[in-house]
Amino acid sequence: MGRFDGRVAVVTGSGRRKGLGEAIARKLAGEGAHVVISDIGTSKDAATPGAMIGATEEMAAIAVELPGSSTCVCDVRDPAQVRALAAHAVQTHGGLDIWVNNAGIGYIMKPLMEVTPEDWRAVIDVNLSGCFYGIQAAAEVMIAQNAKNGGRGGRIVNIASQAAKSGFPHAQAYTASKHGLVGLTRSAAIELGPHGITLNNVCPNHVTTGLGAWQNEYFAKVVGAASVDDYLKAMADRIPMRRPGLPQDTADAVAFLCSDDAKYITAESLNVSGGEEPH
């Protein structure tokens, strides 16, 4: 039997191949959960380019590979769509036990003086406000479930970042959004604890997903590395475990925090960085 047999999980931003969201969804489904694969589906504006989002067809292809899963398009910037995503989980799978706020923008990176108000809002709207809406929507369902059948509780996990603990050049909005998740989680966890709901952040260091590959190219140029390979070697050399993170590292941490083994852990921001981030 899997740790999550009979449980229902929503993972936002999980509709893109080789992304953190897909790895998390596969991990939870592999241990028995019914997973809702969710992503924005189509490009909406300049902040959501097609190359950086999970397309509807891609979402469907991932869901086919995960027995008992479903798909639901959701733009996390819209609280009504986020509530509809929670309702989809209940209507399709009979409840909601796990909610992972994974959707994020990590591809708007510029020098400080070049950041526009539109850039700032785009990142904050997805990375921070989107998580806030997800916490509210998930908690509403989980609290109602507890009132009805008692003791079901719930698990909410935000995918933060090493940037929730340390600053990085060219990542002002991103770093601010991830730092904001730490405060949001600490405060919201206090209110959700009496309902048996835990709320935590997972803070990975750099992970070479599709987005991570773009970041490798960008920051190799920023630091003046001779090549992307040289940039990655320098990164590995400063990490005690001598490698960047893998999607599976983050997925494993999420699964732990969603499991019964972590039932007394809440309001935490867990580093998954191979020792690179000690804060």
Position 147 confidence tier, pLDDT thresholds 50, 70, 90:
confident
Q: What pLDDT does residue 124 have?
A: 98
Q: What pLDDT does residue 213 have?
A: 78
Position 223 confidence tier, pLDDT thresholds 50, 70, 90:
confident
Q: Once rounded to an integer, what is the mean pLDDT over residues 221-234?
A: 86
CA 185, distance to chain mean position in Å, is 13
Residue type present at position 126: V
Q: What pLDDT does residue 6 have?
A: 93
**Between 218 and 187, whose confidence is greater?**
187
Residue type present at position 22: E
Helix (H, G, I), strand (E, B) or coil at 204: strand
For the chain, give percent helix, strand, coil, nearest 5. Answer: 50, 15, 35
Residue 74 burial class via C-beta count within 10 angstroms: exposed 0-12, middle 13-18, buried 19 and up = buried
Q: Locate all alpha helices (DSSP H) within the chain, ordered by sequence.
A: 20-30, 56-64, 79-93, 117-124, 130-149, 172-192, 210-222, 228-238, 247-258
Reply yes or no on whether the pLDDT at 212 is more than 70.
no
Least confident of 32-41, 177-186, 216-225: 216-225
Reply yes or no on whether the pLDDT at 240 is more than 80.
yes
Q: What pLDDT does residue 1 have?
A: 67
Helix (H, G, I), strand (E, B) or coil at 262: helix
Paired strand residues for 159: 202
Rounded to whole angstroms, the Cα distance separating 97 from 151 reads 11
Using an 8 Å Cβ cutoff, are 246 and 207 in contact?
Answer: yes
Position 38 confidence tier, pLDDT thresholds 50, 70, 90:
very high
Mean pLDDT (the chain, rounded): 94
The edge-to-edge listing of strands for the beta sheet with 70-73 is 70-73, 34-39, 8-11, 98-101, 154-159, 197-204, 269-272
**Phi, psi of 275, deg, nearest 5:** 90, 0
95-125 pLDDT tens trace: 999 999 999 999 999 999 999 999 999 999 9
Q: What pLDDT does residue 211 have?
A: 63
Rounded to whole angstroms, the Cα distance separating 75 from 105 reads 12
**Phi, psi of 21, deg, nearest 5:** -60, -40
Q: What pLDDT does residue 190 have?
A: 98
Closest among 274, 275, 277, 270 to 254, alpha carbons compared:
270
Q: What pLDDT does residue 226 have?
A: 87
Residue-range domains of the chain with CATH: 8-207+246-268 (3.40.50.720), 208-244 (no CATH)
CA distances for 118 relative to 69, 96, 210, angstroms: 35, 34, 24
* Helices 20-30 and 247-258, axial angle in degrees (round to 10): 50
Using an 8 Å Cβ cutoff, are 10 and 100 in contact?
Answer: yes
Query: What positions carry a catalytic annotation?
Result: 174, 178
Paired strand residues for 221: none
Using an 8 Å Cβ cutoff, are 44 and 88 in contact?
Answer: no
Least confident of 100-104, 197-201, 232-236, 255-259: 232-236
Position 218 confidence tier, pLDDT thresholds 50, 70, 90:
confident
- The tokens for 66 are 């995960």
Reply yes or no on whether the pLDDT at 209 is more than 80.
no
Q: Once rounded to an integer, what is the mean pLDDT over residues 70-94?
A: 98
